Chains A and B, each alone.
Chain A
Amino acid sequence: MLKLPIYLDHNATTPMDPRVLEAMIPYFTENFGNAASRNHSFGWHAEEAVDYAREQVAQLIGADPKEIIFTSGATEGDNLAIKGVYEMYASKGNHIITCTTEHKAVLDTCKHLEKLGAEVTYLDVQPDGLIDLKALEAAMKPTTILVAIMYANNEIGVVQPVKEIAAIAKKHGALFFTDGVQAVGKIPVDVIADGIDIMAFTAHKMYGPKGVGALYVRRKNPRVKVTAQMDGGGHERGMRSGTLNVPGIVGFGKAAEIARTDMAADTERISKLRDKLENALKQIDESYVNGNPAHRLPHVSNISFKYVEGEGLMMGFNKDIALSSGSACTSASLEPSYVLKALGLGDDLAHSSLRFGLGRYTTEEQIDFTIKAVTDTVLKLREMSPLWEMFKEGVDIDSIQWAHH
């Protein structure tokens, strides 16, 4: 029996794997010690658990455990990396390069630094969502201290050419930071092979608990340092003070271990389901897949259904299926997704998009249900759409003088 509602919003968050929860439980009650308590067994147990988790997390990304700084999540990691580099390397320069489709935690951190004197270049992306490496090369300056480009995008799932970006940054003597939230645990990420200097990622996107993340900070070739953004007890090699969230970290470690061992099998199964979904929905007239289909996460599909509005579309099935839309009809600005707009999509297509994010527990039965529900709703709403009627009559919608609100 199909159990409703179906969760297809795994880019927002993932359910916790029961194996993760099981690993965490003792660290709430029996093993509750503070990992910084050096003089009794409660502290030793906690420290040991954190060390083990640090190894599990490091192994997932090919890092040394000493290069893992635990944080509260990727927003903190993004802030610590960008602000921390800006402060630490102030004598070398003040120029940061990022791109327009980054997460707000990166974009708004850069905007904040601009007020403090940073010069920030926001690279446009190409219509397929990938950055133009020539444009990156051209933007590099002697004062460039940091290139901050995400590994994979949260809305459309495109995977950036990370190795090439890293090589360009290195050639010009800048550090390369990547927001790895959507990629780590989903596709192979290796900080050495990829040439990453700093990377933020988080547990709750890989079937771990919320409220715990990590920042990878390279220790060799080059040795990278970031200025702490919180003052306190000097935990995490002085880069992130605050009592460690031991149960969260234990869960993160377990989640990272499972992600590593199950990745190949998960990817194979999930990408098949994603392709089935996408191929079926592409059969609908005037539907468009957003983002480069070849360089993309295996579990994401972002599709625009022209002439229907995303939020209205979701209402047709949102009691049964949970997913996201690029329409921002609920926000005060009425602006659709800035990521989709950055691809050069017209507002009409941006308003008409849905993001399907599949996950470890997604079944074929759920996908079949979703295909039918989405198709039926698109067809129903098009019968109700004045734009669809105009399109069918051959009216050029762009030629109409719309009254802008």
Chain B
Amino acid sequence: MAYSDKVIDHYSNPKNVGTLDKASKSVGTGLVGAPECGDVMRLQIQVDEATGIITDAKFKTFGCGSAIASSSLATEWLKGKSVDEAVKIDNMDLVEELNLPPVKIHCSVLAEDAIKSAINDYRKKNGLDELVFEERIH
């Protein structure tokens, strides 16, 4: 199976690889996937508490090229968005942008889950109710 140019580009030059201080109140961390499934994503957002804008986003991913590309692209999209806008990022947008084939859709689902999980972590730390998301079948 051949990878799309965009997947190859994100894989070769991943954006925003790194770690934010997960103890910080302004940082939300999402860790999703499982080693035995061959995919683990950790996505972190840094939120400006005054404006609710995501000022930074970082990821680390264990997985195939599509999983790395999905998380790399997700961090790009998160930066500059408000938390409320970030919630709306849909996995199918990632699929479309990266031209992921059907067998790789789960990588985009995982990235969406990571975003939501990071947002909920941030909300929890700041005394807000966790958002309830529809259960997804992967």
Q: Are B60 and A309 in contact (CB under 8 A)?
A: no
- Per the bound structure, the CA–CA distance linking A385 and B59 in Å amounts to 9
- Per the bound structure, the CA–CA distance linking A354 and B37 in Å amounts to 17
Q: Are A387 and B37 in contact (CB under 8 A)?
A: no
Q: Inside 8 A of A308's CB, which chain B residues have their CB? A: 62
Chain-A contact segment, one of B28-36, B45-53, B84-92, B124-132: B28-36
A:308-339 near B, CB below 8 Å = 308-309, 311-312, 315-316, 327-332, 334, 336
Looking across the interface, which residue of chain A has its beta carbon closest to that of B110?
Answer: A405
Looking across the interface, which residue of chain A has its beta carbon closest to that of B36?
Answer: A347
B68 in contact (CB, < 8 A): yes
Given contacts A315-B3, A315-B11, A405-B106, contact A329 B36 (CB under 8 A): no
Q: Are B65 and A312 in contact (CB under 8 A)?
A: yes
Q: Are B64 and A387 in contact (CB under 8 A)?
A: no
For B60, give its contact among A348, A351, A384, A403 (CB under 8 Å).
Answer: A384
B:1-57 near A, CB below 8 Å = 1, 3, 8, 11, 14, 17, 19, 31-42
- Per the bound structure, the CA–CA distance linking A331 and B64 in Å amounts to 12
Looking across the interface, which residue of chain A has its beta carbon closest to that of B136?
Answer: A405
**Chain A 331-368: CB-based contact to B (< 8 A → 1; otherwise 0):** 11010100000000011100100000000000000000
Q: Are A385 and B61 in contact (CB under 8 A)?
A: yes
State the majority secondary structure of interface residues on B.
mixed
Q: Are B64 and A329 in contact (CB under 8 A)?
A: yes
Q: Inside 8 A of B138's CB, which chain A residues have their CB? A: 405
Q: Are B34 and A402 in contact (CB under 8 A)?
A: yes
Interface centre among B33, B41, B62, B68 (most CB of A within 10 A): B62
Given contacts A315-B64, A334-B38, contact A383 B17 (CB under 8 A): yes
State the majority secondary structure of interface residues on A.
loop
Q: Are A405 and B34 in contact (CB under 8 A)?
A: yes
Looking across the interface, which residue of chain A has its beta carbon closest to that of B101?
Answer: A330
A:197-248 near B, CB below 8 Å = none
CB distance from B31 to the nearest CB of A (A): 7
CB distance from B5 to the nearest CB of A (A): 12
Q: Are B34 and A312 in contact (CB under 8 A)?
A: no
A404 in contact (CB, < 8 A): yes
Looking across the interface, which residue of chain B has its beta carbon closest to that of A384?
Answer: B17
Q: How large, as a class, is the contact surface on chain A? A: 20 to 34
Q: Inside 8 A of B68's CB, which chain A residues have their CB? A: 312, 384
Q: Are B14 and A384 in contact (CB under 8 A)?
A: yes
Q: Are A386 and B38 in contact (CB under 8 A)?
A: no
Q: Are B61 and A327 in contact (CB under 8 A)?
A: no
Looking across the interface, which residue of chain A has its beta carbon closest to that of B72?
Answer: A384
Q: Are A397 and B35 in contact (CB under 8 A)?
A: yes
Q: Are B62 and A334 in contact (CB under 8 A)?
A: no
A:278-318 near B, CB below 8 Å = 307-309, 311-312, 315-316
Q: Inside 8 A of B63's CB, which chain A residues have their CB? A: 309, 312, 329
Looking across the interface, which residue of chain A has its beta carbon closest to that of B42?
Answer: A386
CB distance from B112 to the nearest CB of A (A): 13
- Per the bound structure, the CA–CA distance linking A397 and B11 in Å amounts to 25
A268 in contact (CB, < 8 A): no
A389 in contact (CB, < 8 A): yes
CB distance from A311 to the nearest CB of B (A): 4
Q: Which 7 A-B pairs have the closest CB atoms?
A: A347-B36, A402-B34, A386-B42, A405-B138, A386-B60, A348-B35, A315-B65
Q: For the A-B complex with A327-B64, A405-B37 known, give 8 more contacts whose Cβ atoms are closer than 8 Å.
A: A309-B64, A312-B65, A312-B68, A327-B38, A328-B38, A384-B68, A386-B61, A389-B60
**17 A-B Cβ contacts within 8 A?**
A307-B62, A309-B38, A309-B39, A309-B62, A311-B64, A312-B64, A315-B8, A327-B38, A334-B38, A336-B38, A348-B36, A385-B61, A387-B62, A400-B31, A402-B36, A404-B37, A405-B33
